[in-house]
Amino acid sequence: MKLAAVLRLSLALAVMAVAACQRDAGQPPAGGYPDFADLVERVSPSVVNISTVPADVPQEQARADARADSDADALKNAPEWFKRFIEEHPEEAPAPDDNADLPPGPQSLGSGFVLWSDGYVLTNFHVVRDAKEVIVRLLDRRQFTAQVVGSDEATDVALLKIAAEDLPAVKIGDASRLRPGQWALAIGSPFGFDYSVTAGIVSAKGRALITEQYVPFIQTDVAINPGNSGGPLFNMAGEVIGMNSQIYSQSGGYQGLSFSIPIDVAAKVARQLKDSGKVTRGWLGVVVQEVDRDLAQQARMDKPEGALVARVIAESPAARSGIREGDIILSYNGQELPSSSALPPMVGITDPGTVATLKLRRDGKTLTVKVDVGTLGPDGDQLDLPDTPPPPAPVGPLGLVVRPMSADERSKAQVVNGGVLIVSVGDGPAARAGIRAGDVLLQISGQEIDTPDRLRVVAGRLTPGSSVQALVQRRGAPLFLMIDVPDAAPAS
């Protein structure tokens, strides 16, 4: 009997240990859906509602808007016979009330959460953008006028400060340990409905959106709507793993695709805003593009991956480290790059002055390079190309019509050396490769192109039936394209 009792006790302890491990890992108990009630009760005091008073509106305009809104509401709620009468006899419509109420001051715009207990609140930049006054309301209904300590549009993060102490701060989780399929929970104020709770699963990690290239977003199917912005995303342990920021929608409402800023990214930005009022990011000085199948085959790679270096900025950290145009960056500090969009957030979150290790693919071989990470400037690596269409020019080889660039065009395009302007692209290898009119042709097969005559010479030496790289600059960024040289080279 004693042995049986010991075995039963051991089994019970083992089950409890497994359940505890599941809770610590952010997993629900085995055998069913989780009950979020206790978790919500525990973490809700850390969540806040954020309202703003917009920039000043002229008094007469405000009254006119209020009258229009009041008249619209009155007509909407009027009987059908009255609506038809007004439509048929607009002159009989009641005169506007000059004493119509002005629009209310604060408008509920978003959510936030207490990051540090001494009054620091985190939210989205777009929630407080251009606000004259920001009001933070806590769960216990206390309201505070907040000071915007700082904001960072590139990551859509803003840090607020309210005059309060001993606030219930959130517990920070580890977003890097998230796995698709794990439960996640959001609390916020969608459409002004305070402390609404929604739950779902993590759909994917490291999503790149064109709106914020320095954020590897967490994608979930948690229902997020306008007003949830800036609110926290929790795991099952009650830890904040992200800040809800965007939805993907064709209707303006939730359609199953929600995106959150990983908490490590948001918290690091907040710390910099608190300490210095600004955000610094790492910088390599390269412009990259996706690696397609043709480029991967030329580099003798098993699959398309990594980030192809389309341009190296002069005097940049990458240039000083020997990185070349045409290199393919496979990993950054040991983290593999499944696509080129994975590189900017990795570099951006790196502290300037750090030595980063890059694994490259060059000429079919793999090598390792060390780079002293620099500081990203306010304009990044963006370039501008002239918008004026070039005049006609004689037809050149490969189906291209090109001409030399003027000094003004070269300056606007920020092309220091070489390059010819592509006027038009006829039927031929260049068109099939995706080269467009308005591109600046810089290289073919590693050979610089600085005049139309040089293009004819280089094109005439290409091996029939081979595939070669062409480097063009398009809309502010360099781009490598693969040209399939025909068996019979076209005439000049």
Our answer to whether residue 439 is catalytic in this structure is: no
Q: Compute the distance between CA of residue 442 and CA of residue 259 in angstroms, rounded to an integer.
A: 38
What's the Cα-to-Cα distance from 309 to each of 293, 326, 341, 362, rounded to whole Å?
A: 16, 5, 12, 11
What pLDDT, on the 0 to 100 scale, is given for residue 2? 57
> The pTM is what?
0.66
Identity of the amino acid at 273 = L
Q: Is the pLDDT of residue 55 over 70?
A: no
Query: Mind listing the domains of the chain with CATH numbers?
Result: 43-51+106-276 (2.40.10.120), 59-92 (no CATH), 282-375 (2.30.42.10), 397-484 (2.30.42.10)
pLDDT-wise least confident of 24-38, 61-75, 339-353, 398-412: 61-75
Residues across the chain: 492
What are the beta bridge partners of residue 247? Answer: 258
Q: Is the pLDDT of residue 180 over 90?
A: yes
pLDDT-wise least confident of 75-84, 106-115, 227-236: 75-84
Confidence band, pLDDT 50/70/90 cuts, at residue 167: very high
pLDDT (average), residues 54-76: 50
Burial class (CB in 10 A: 0-12, 13-18, 19+), 237: middle
Q: Is the pLDDT of residue 32 over 60?
A: yes
Q: Which of 126, 260, 316, 331 is labelled catalytic?
A: 126
Our answer to whether residue 117 is catalytic in this structure is: no
Neighbours of 278 (CB within 10 A): 9
What pLDDT, on the 0 to 100 scale, is given for residue 28? 54
Q: Which of 152, 156, 327, 381 is labelled catalytic?
A: 156
Which DSSP letter does residue 165 get? -
What pLDDT, on the 0 to 100 scale, is given for residue 388? 40
Tokens 């990795």 correspond to: 346
Residues 6+ positions from 470 with CB-CB distance below 8 Å: 430, 433, 435, 441, 443, 444, 445, 480, 481, 482, 483
What pLDDT, on the 0 to 100 scale, is given for residue 341? 86
Confidence band, pLDDT 50/70/90 cuts, at residue 62: very low
What pLDDT, on the 0 to 100 scale, is given for residue 490? 43
Q: Compute the distance between CA of residue 72 and CA of residue 394 in angstroms, rounded to an integer.
A: 63
The pLDDT tens digits of the residues spanning 428-452 come to 788 888 888 888 888 888 888 888 8
Our answer to whether residue 126 is catalytic in this structure is: yes
Q: Which of 229, 245, 340, 341 is labelled catalytic?
A: 229
Q: Which pair of structure tokens corresponds to residue 460?
A: 């005439």
Q: Compute the distance between CA of residue 448 and CA of residue 440 in angstroms, rounded to an integer.
A: 12
pLDDT (average), residues 34-45: 95
Question: What is the chain's mean pLDDT, rounded?
Answer: 80
Q: Compute the distance between CA of residue 376 and CA of residue 461 in angstroms, rounded to an integer.
A: 41
What pLDDT, on the 0 to 100 scale, is given for residue 397? 60
In this predicted model, which residue has the larger pLDDT, 131 or 16? 131
Q: Which pair of structure tokens corresponds to residue 378?
A: 């306010």
The pLDDT tens digits of the residues spanning 273-285 come to 999 999 999 999 9
The pLDDT tens digits of the residues spanning 468-492 come to 888 888 765 678 888 888 875 444 3
Residue 8 φ then ψ, to 5°: -65, -40
The pLDDT tens digits of the residues spanning 208-247 come to 876 678 899 999 999 999 899 999 999 999 999 999 998 8
Pairing of strands 328-332, 286-289: unpaired
User: In the chain, how long is the greatest CA-to-CA distance?
Assistant: 101
What pLDDT, on the 0 to 100 scale, is given for residue 70? 43
What pLDDT, on the 0 to 100 scale, is given for residue 69? 43
User: CA Rg, the chain, in Å?
Assistant: 30
In this predicted model, which residue has the larger pLDDT, 353 or 64? 353
The pLDDT tens digits of the residues spanning 284-315 come to 999 888 888 888 888 889 999 999 998 888 88
What percentage of residues in the chain have a pLDDT greater than 90? 46
Q: Compute the distance between CA of residue 190 and CA of residue 227 in angstroms, rounded to an integer.
A: 4
The pLDDT tens digits of the residues spanning 356-394 come to 999 999 988 999 999 999 998 765 544 333 334 444 444
